[in-house]
Structure 1
Amino acid sequence: MNSILLGFASMSGNTEEIADVLKDHLENRHFHVTLEEIDEMEPEEFKNYSGVLIGSYTWNDGDLPYEVEDFYEEVTDTDLSGVPVAVFGSGDSIYPQFCEAVNQLEGACQESGAIIVSPSLKIEHYPESNEDLSRCENFAAEFASYLISSINSQC
């Protein structure tokens, strides 16, 4: 199974663009990627995928967006033992809690037993610079490499 669930919450389109860039990179590595908005995701279904990527913007000064709050609670109530997960998001460094929603989601997944495959990806606003696009590509490549080695070790 080489399928990835990629869920995101985006208000201004920044996090959605990151999700699209990640999806393209992963599909180029021959993964089947299911893209969903985060409020349509069910954490108990995560084990049906090789891995899960979760993305969110940060609201205000470090708050979870309202559409992520229920998902966050569901993650904390779900056993995600062994599920490979990585978290990404966009933020605005004008706030002292830059991309705090990313930290909160990553912590919730880890506490629920998920394997955090790589350090979170945090992008200032929109991923348009070559540096941001390269960071997205590296994040996707690291995630894909982990999943490929995990799949190969099961064979």
Structure 2
Amino acid sequence: MRVFIGYVSMSGNTEDIATLLYDELNSLGCDVLMECLDTVDTEELLTYTGVLIGSYTWGDGDLPYEAEDFYEELGDKKLSGVMAGCFGSGDYDYPKFCAAVDIFASKLNENGAQVFDQLLKVELSPESTEQQMACKEFARSFYFWLKERNIQHVS
């Protein structure tokens, strides 16, 4: 199973989440590629079994500057058949906690992707054991969700 993890991270928090997801998916036997969203060609998304998009939230619920080009490149690109999930970091001190995660999930859904119904939202950095376990559980749940859909797709 090929999984792509694309993310943007300013302070390293979202990158830390992406790394936890990468490690867990890799341990499950997935072929995982992880890279920053600003280097991603959106056409590549169509070549993966699963796609995870991660972003921190800027200001009062905005996409960060580093994610805007990727978001715009998605435009109205047809993503039928793409199975995607979203994750990110945020800060409860702001009015729209992890809104970038919701923005990406909506965009992927609008473009025809099947979006995993669990969204991973982490306050700041995944430093606590509880936060790290939540990241690993999200990765495992995403893996089994992909596996289930691939079996249905092949049948």
TM-score, length of structure 2 as denominator length: 0.95
Look up the match of 1:103. Answer: 102
Specify the alignment match of 2:71 in structure 1.
72
Identity fraction in percent? 47
* Counterpart secondary structure, 2:17: helix
Q: Supply the distance in 2 between the matched residues of 1:113 and 1:44 (Cα, whole angstroms).
A: 14
- Secondary structure at the aligned position of 1:12 is classed as coil
Aligned-pair CA distance for 1:77: 2.3
Structure 1 counterpart of 2:28:
29
**1:139 Cα deviation from its structure 2 partner:** 0.7
Aligned match of 2:87: 88
Match runs of 1:3-18 below 5 Å: 3-18=2-17
SS in 2 for 1:57: coil
Output the CA distance in 2 between the equivalents of 1:52 and 1:43.
Answer: 11
Using the TM superposition, name which of 141-150 and 106-115 deviates more.
Answer: 141-150
Task: Output the CA distance in 2 between the equivalents of 1:78 and 1:15.
Answer: 25
Task: Identify unmatched segments of 5+ residues in structure 1.
Answer: none
Distance in 2, Cα, partners of 1:122 & 1:151: 26
What SS does the aligned partner of 2:26 have?
A: helix
Mean Cα deviation higher: 73-82 or 43-52: 73-82
Runs of 4+ aligned structure 1 residues displaced above 3 Å come to none
CA–CA separation in structure 2 for the residues paired with 1:45 and 1:18: 22
* Match of residue 122 from structure 1: 121
For 2:144 and 2:150, how far apart are their aligned partners in 1? 10
In structure 1, the partner of 2:47 is 48
Structure 2 residue runs without a partner (length 5+): none
- The CA RMSD over aligned residues, in Å, is 1.1
What is the TM-score with the length of structure 1 in the denominator?
0.95
> Matched residue pairs, number?
154
Q: Alpha-carbon deviation of 1:76?
A: 2.9
Name the aligned partner's letter for residue 35 of structure 1.
Answer: M
